[in-house]
A = this chain, B = another copy of it.
Amino acid sequence: MEEAEIIERVLEAGIRLGGVVALGAGDDAAVLRVDGSIVLSTDVQVQDVHFRLDWLAPEEIGARAAAAALSDLAAMGAEATALLLTLVGRDGETVERVGRGASAFARSLSVPLIGGDISSGPLLAVDVVAVGRLPAGWHPWMRSGARDGDRLWVTGRLGGPRRALDALLDGTPVDPEIRTRFAAPMPRLAEAAALRGADFDVHAAIDVSDGLLLDAGRVARASELRLDLDAAAVPRMDRVGPSEALRSGEEYELLLALPEGSDPTAVLAPTGTEVACIGRFEAGEGVWLDGVRTPPSGFDHFGSRA
């Protein structure tokens, strides 16, 4: 299979041109007409680091990488506008299937694929650039925006990806629902859009990519506040323990710092996504779990687990 053919098939699986796209793949670069601000995020997934080929179908690898990049847009409160896709791999067929997976997943969310790059390489890697927009007057949800007295809310039920990963590593059977949470995560774009229409402001947000404890700790640190977490309040999937739920990464659920007295349940009801209050920000520092200060916990690519 030739490179041009792979690119053609990947593009076929997606939307070639969306409303804001002036020019798509095929030229040296893609051009987007924009009013307001654009939001850019990249997410790379590497074989044997983020996934193994015997764990996931190539299409799932692509869709998962697209979901991870789009999740960063949701965490900024942005709308998804377009994707660019860089694919590296040894055999053209697998590379094409990964690309088609990403492209079809983006299409399912009405997000066009507008460009990217492709290269041979000794192992599979996929790098997704998600392009979003913030219409005029919208401010991005930053990590640093939480205020004293804000409550921390989380969407969904946690622990599935970690439980699936442990089972895959151990070679034990994986419950299908648990596997889906690992293999086919959904970026919370619809939830972010619903929250944009709420009568309260989102003060800060982040998506759970490296584990609740670590990601919530990032919000507390950026906002220069102490965060008190109620471990028992963290919604968990069936058969998932509290510690797993707190440390499970690649969840792509949203953590939201909301003003005291604001309840996002009704706003999120149309999306079908649960939401729970799991903590409180106040003056001070660190993440406190049921009253005990906890060190951050997560994965570091070039260090030990800290």
In the assembled complex, how far is the CB of residue A37 from the closest CB belonging to chain B, in whole angstroms? Answer: 5
Q: Which residues of B are found within 8 Å of A114, using beta-carbon distances?
A: 40
Q: Within residues 111 to 138 of chain A, which ones have a CB less than 8 A from any CB in chain B?
A: 114-123, 125, 127, 129-132, 134
Q: Which residues of B are found within 8 Å of A140, using beta-carbon distances?
A: 22-23, 27, 29, 31
| Interface check A267, CB cutoff 8 A | no
List the number of copies, as a whole number: 2
| Interface check A32, CB cutoff 8 A | yes
Q: Do residues B29 and A120 form an inter-chain contact, with CB atoms below 8 A?
A: no
In the assembled complex, how far is the CB of residue A30 from the closest CB belonging to chain B, in whole angstroms? Answer: 5
Of A84-92, A176-184, A284-292, which binds chain B?
Answer: A84-92
Interface size of A by CB at 8 A reads 72
Q: Which residues of B are found within 8 Å of A46, using beta-carbon distances?
A: 88, 119-121
Q: Which residues of B are found within 8 Å of A190, using beta-carbon distances?
A: none
- Choice from B86, B115, B302 contacting A6 with Cβ under 8 Å: B302
Q: Within residues 34 to 63 of chain A, which ones have a CB less than 8 A from any CB in chain B?
A: 34, 36-46, 48-50
A-B contacts, 5 listed (Cβ < 8 Å): A1-B303, A27-B143, A40-B84, A42-B116, A43-B117
